[in-house]
Amino acid sequence: MARSYSNRRWSRRGRRANITYLVVALVLFVLIVFVLFRGHSSEPQPAAAGDGGGQTNPVSQLAESSAPPVEAEAPLESPTPAAETRAQRESPAPASVEPNPVETLAAGDPPQAPSDTNAEAARAIAEALALGRSQPGSVIEVRDKLNAVLAMPLSEPQRQSVKEEMSKLADEWLFGPAAFAGDPLCGTYTVKSGDVLEVIGRRHKVPYEMLMQINNIPRPQSLGAGRAIKVVHGPFRAKVHRSTFTLDLYLQDTYVRSFKVGLGVPATPTPTGLWRVKDGGKLIQPPWYDKVTNRTYKASDPDYPLGSRWIALDGVDGDARGRTGFAIHGTKDPEQIGTAGSRGCIRMYNGDAILVYKLLTPLYSKVEVVD
């Protein structure tokens, strides 16, 4: 009887032990499964300090950020090679991208002239120069072709190139002794008995001094009857650009050459508008009275300010209308040519002033001043 009770007691203990073992085994199994599942999880784990494997990609961060990037008010400095990011080293080089014309204009770059416009002008210039090379006698035709190009929309280098070529041509067709056949601007005249050079010049609206120069006439009185001389069909005119301190000279509507000039200071600017060479206003080193200092200057004075020539102007139109006391003249301060340094007059180098003096005719020659 005692043995049977003992057997039953150990039987109950065995069952309890088995249950305990089963529970422990189940817990261990669950822990093992949890550890294994966690080890194979795809979620990124936070990297420990100094662990390069957990470094985040700044490009990815920027792309995934929901907030828009802050625009810099000033250009940022380019990174040095030492500061190059890992993303920059590992990412492929971006393909070249054409600049956005809207962004380019917004950045302040001026709009470019249409390429077809410059191309058309370039073709016209090339054709004119090719004609001059192949036919050296076609000076007038080349001149007229280049003069037509100046009326086209041009880039500044193109405009300067055309002016330089036309200035060279002027040495032949205008300032040289030859008169080219078919030229409407220059011709020949056979001197008659009793002719006066000044009258011939006035008849053609050019100063007689120019006729003396291009025909190598030493004195007006030496003009002999029967002689064929070259005449120029004027008048000459000028256009002054205040922005570039430049005077462009034209014979009628044909460009001749350009000169650097000095203009009025901001307090007394050279007035824009249309001027006319004053009748009797062309003088050689005349005395000049300065209203500011109440002093009269003579040509013999060391500080005489007018230089070699004085060409008085009368205001005709625009801001110039009705204004007097302005002139084109030489200077004692050549370093001020190309700057704003006068009280409103148009200053020239003394040699240039002498040349222009020989070309502009009172009453007929106009001078336009523009910005």
pLDDT digits (tens, 9 = 90+) for 246-275: 999 999 999 999 999 999 999 999 999 999
> What's 349's DSSP letter?
-
Q: What are the distances in angstroms from CA 116 to CA 73, 124, 146, 150, 151? A: 37, 12, 18, 16, 16
CATH 3.10.350.10 domain range(s) in the chain: 179-234
d(CA 79, CA 91): 16
Give the per-residue pLDDT at 368.
Answer: 98
Provide the H-helix boundaries in the chain. Answer: 2-39, 58-64, 86-90, 101-106, 115-134, 139-149, 156-173, 197-203, 208-214, 350-357
Instruction: Name the phi and psi angles at 231, rounded to 5.
Output: -120, 155
pLDDT in tens, 173-185: 999 999 999 999 9
Q: What is the mean pLDDT of the segment spanning 5-13?
A: 48
Let me know: does 365 contact 238? Beta carbons within 8 Å: yes
Q: Lowest mean pLDDT: which of 60-74, 214-228, 347-361?
A: 60-74
Q: What percent of the chain has pLDDT over 90?
A: 65
pLDDT in tens, 29-76: 656 645 444 444 434 333 333 333 333 333 333 333 333 332 222 222
216 falls in which pLDDT band (50, 70, 90)? very high
d(CA 90, CA 54): 16
Give the per-residue pLDDT at 21.
Answer: 63
Concatenated DSSP letters of 359-371? T--TTT-EEEEE-
Yes or no: domain 236-370 corresponds to CATH 3.40.605.10: no
Q: What percent of the chain has pLDDT over 70?
A: 68
Give the per-residue pLDDT at 113.
Answer: 40
Q: What is the mean pLDDT of the segment spanning 223-235?
A: 95
Q: Lowest mean pLDDT: which of 12-16, 74-78, 228-232, 308-312?
A: 74-78
Closest to 141 in 3D by CA, of 129, 123, 159: 129
pLDDT in tens, 80-124: 333 333 333 333 333 333 333 333 223 333 334 444 568 889 999
Task: Reply yes or no on whether the pLDDT at 137 is more than 80.
Answer: yes
Question: Can you name the residues that pair with 106 across neighbouring β-strands?
Answer: none
Question: Can you name the residues that pair with 276 across neighbouring β-strands?
Answer: 314, 366
pLDDT in tens, 139-165: 999 999 999 999 999 999 999 999 999
Give the per-residue pLDDT at 327.
Answer: 97
Q: Which two tokens stand for residue 283?
A: 């003088």
Yes or no: domain 179-234 corresponds to CATH 3.40.50.1100: no
CATH 2.40.440.10 domain range(s) in the chain: 236-370
d(CA 126, CA 121): 9
d(CA 158, CA 43): 67
Closest to 162 in 3D by CA, of 35, 254, 285, 66: 254
Query: Can you list the positions of beta strands (E) in 214-287?
Result: 228-232, 236-241, 246-251, 254-264, 273-283
Concatenated DSSP letters of 303-329? T--STT-EEEEEEEEGGGTT--SEEEE
Task: Reply yes or no on whether the pLDDT at 219 is more than 50.
Answer: yes
Which 3 state secondary structure label does DSSP give 94? coil
Residue 287 CA to its chain's centroid (Å): 41
Average pLDDT of the chain, as a whole number: 79
Placement of tokens 């009797």 in the chain: 280
pLDDT in tens, 308-342: 999 999 999 999 999 999 999 999 999 999 999 99
Phi-psi region of 338 (alpha: psi -120 to 50; beta: other; left: phi over 0): left
Task: Reply yes or no on whether the pLDDT at 79 is more than 60.
Answer: no
16 falls in which pLDDT band (50, 70, 90)? low
Give the per-residue pLDDT at 349.
Answer: 98
Give the per-residue pLDDT at 202.
Answer: 96
